[in-house]
Structure 1
Amino acid sequence: MSRPYSPPAEHRLLGIGLALAAYLMLTGIDSSAKWLGMIGISFIQIVFLRYAIHLVLVATIHLPRHGRTMVRSGNLRLQFFRALALLGATSCNFLAVQFLPLTVTGSIAFTVPLLICALSVPLLGEQVGWRRWSAIAAGFVGVLVIVRPGTDAFHPATLLSLAAALSTAFYLLLTRKVSSYDSPATSQFYVGIFATVFLLPVVPFFWSFPTSADGWFVFFSIGVFGFVGHQLITVASSLAPATVLAPFSYFQIFFLSAASWVIFNQPPDVWLYVGAPIVIGSGLYIWLRERRLAKPETVVVSER
């Protein structure tokens, strides 16, 4: 009986490097969305730009190679619901970053592994023991520490961030299912086409153009960040197992903190230093526990 394939160590290191580059690109998505909102671009237009530019890049790069096979899905219904979940996550997140620092929305996004673990019980019929349920509860205590409901620091946009995390969890669970039917290129195509077609009838009513050079740069770069980020994750996942890549997703908090501080002059407050480690620690515990139980894992991409 042959042993399962294990990528060489140098491939794993390259995979980790590409994954970190991907999380930097995803930070660029959030930063671009916040910047465009600050210069008066509607969040509906921002969401449309993110997916329309993504779609153009997917078609330009993958269509010549894959041809018609790229648009043939083995399960169109799953692709539709997957794209809808991602669109919901992106819309909620892009609206939330207009009101909250990137560090807060990013920390809440780290609840995605906790939500996946919890949702796997009713949706996938998996069993979750008391240890992981305790980690899930601890993670949400960390979120409460960060957002402090009932105080002047709490902003209702926090609920949008939580909705974005929940939608992302559904998206990743559906990604697990659809990966057995379609290639990554096909999945990327349907993510772009569904969102673009869905928003196309309404976006003209909210359309406006930037009035500065930096605004125009961000106007186009948001879709590029999204496309490149997901391409890098796809390649990284082929070079290193999910069990190796998963913990490195938490490095994104450093990218988000730097962007929030340097670009938007919103340094992390003291409660983030308390709550974020609790959330991250809970996610890492679940990762370790599921690795010990030899459960298949999905690299968490906090999709925008």
Structure 2
Amino acid sequence: MSAPFAPPQEHRLLGIGLALAAYFMFTGIDSSAKWLGLVGISAVQIVFLRYAIHLALVATVHLPRHGRVMIRTGSLKLQFFRALALLGSTVCNFVAVQYLPLTVTGAIAFTVPLLICALSVPFLGETVGWRRWTAIGVGFIGVLVIVRPGTNAFHPASLLSLLGAVSTAAYMLLTRRVSAFDSPATSQFYVGIFATVVLLPIVIFFWSWPTTPDGWIAFFAVGIFGFLGHQLITMASGLAPATVLAPFSYFQIIFMALSSWLIFAQPPDFWLYVGAPIVILSGLYIWLRERSLAKPAPSVVVPH
């Protein structure tokens, strides 16, 4: 006798649970990258590890099941630009976390739904009304509250973090395009192989081995967290629509705050409590507005 079919509500609850687990993994990526920087590993090597280990895991898990089908793509050009956008996001973020608390880089990352909405005009030819443009503007006021340009609290790495968010938004829009003809396994393969091949001839000049047990743990964790995060968010997307999952991406700020506070002794400051809600509420407004217009929901915050 076949197992009873779970009702849609159960599927959605499982999808939400998997999405929350994915956001925990994404926090693990940034935490591992920050820790590796503290123990003396170069940013170039950290980025290489994130993708090389990810690629090895993708090949191990998916290649036996999919074979050559995994490397067939409907558009090598789009996969190239998609991989380039994600690599740019990772480089910017991994450098930024060496200078900024995870809570700050995490809050800036929540501008991604705002940027996706703005970039959907040139990328997808969509029309964005005045209400959503207002929400985008208000969201970036929240960013200004967080980074406080012109004050002693401002660090130039904040601009790098924002550039990383722009790259992430471009990556998500390109992902929306390639998902029409390529499987998640194929897309994961191309982001891994592109970054690994590009960085391999460069990383040999920056390579160093960890000298402490915690360094070795972070050495492997940065790639493992990336792979698991991608897998979990892909599974979650198959169980619940983006309109359901999108708001839960903001739970990642809780994971970021806990990691920043408990691991790196960098608790959130007062202005983060003021600015982050502005950014988050702006993103949620865009989500509600696009849901009312029956348009695709702004994508969740993406792994680096």
Normalised TM-score (structure 1): 0.97
**Which residue of 2 is the match for residue 168 of structure 1?**
168
Q: How many residues align?
A: 299
1:68-111 deviation line (CA, Å, top 9, x unaligned) = 00011110000000000000000000000000000000000000
Structure 1 ranges of 4+ moved more than 2 A: none
**Which residue of 1 is the match for residue 210 of structure 2?**
210
Q: Do 1:250 and 1:280's aligned partners in 2 also have CA atoms closer than 8 Å? A: yes
Normalised TM-score (structure 2): 0.97
Cα distance, 1:22 vs structure 2: 0.1
**Which residue of 2 is the match for residue 99 of structure 1?**
99
Q: List gaps (5 residues or longer) in structure 2.
A: 1-5
Q: What is the 5 A alignment of 1:1-304?
A: 8-297=8-297, 299-304=299-304
The structure-2 alpha-carbon separation of the partners of 1:296 and 1:7, relative to structure 1 and needing over 3 Å to count, comes to farther
Give, in whole Å, the separation in 2 of the partners of 1:297 and 1:83: 22
Secondary structure at the residue paired with 2:205? Answer: helix
Give, in whole Å, the separation in 1 of the partners of 2:123 and 2:199: 29
Q: List gaps (5 residues or longer) in structure 1.
A: 1-5
Q: Do 1:7 and 1:240's aligned partners in 2 also have CA atoms closer than 8 Å? A: no
Give, in whole Å, the separation in 2 of the partners of 1:162 and 1:139: 13
Cα distance, 1:301 vs structure 2: 3.1
Percent identity over the alignment is 78
Give, in whole Å, the separation in 2 of the partners of 1:58 and 1:221: 15
Cα distance, 1:181 vs structure 2: 1.6
Residue 10 of structure 1 aligns with an amino acid whose one-letter code is E
The structure-2 alpha-carbon separation of the partners of 1:183 and 1:61, relative to structure 1 and needing over 3 Å to count, comes to same
Secondary structure at the residue paired with 2:182? Answer: coil
Secondary structure at the residue paired with 1:206? Answer: coil
Q: Do 1:7 and 1:239's aligned partners in 2 also have CA atoms closer than 8 Å? A: no
The structure-2 alpha-carbon separation of the partners of 1:7 and 1:108, relative to structure 1 and needing over 3 Å to count, comes to farther
Residue 292 of structure 2 aligns with an amino acid whose one-letter code is R
Residue 282 of structure 1 aligns with an amino acid whose one-letter code is S
Cα distance, 1:298 vs structure 2: 5.0
Cα distance, 1:302 vs structure 2: 2.6
Give, in whole Å, the separation in 2 of the partners of 1:168 and 1:303: 9
How well do the aligned residues superpose, as a CA RMSD in angstroms?
1.0
Q: Do 2:110 and 2:279's aligned partners in 1 also have CA atoms closer than 8 Å? A: yes
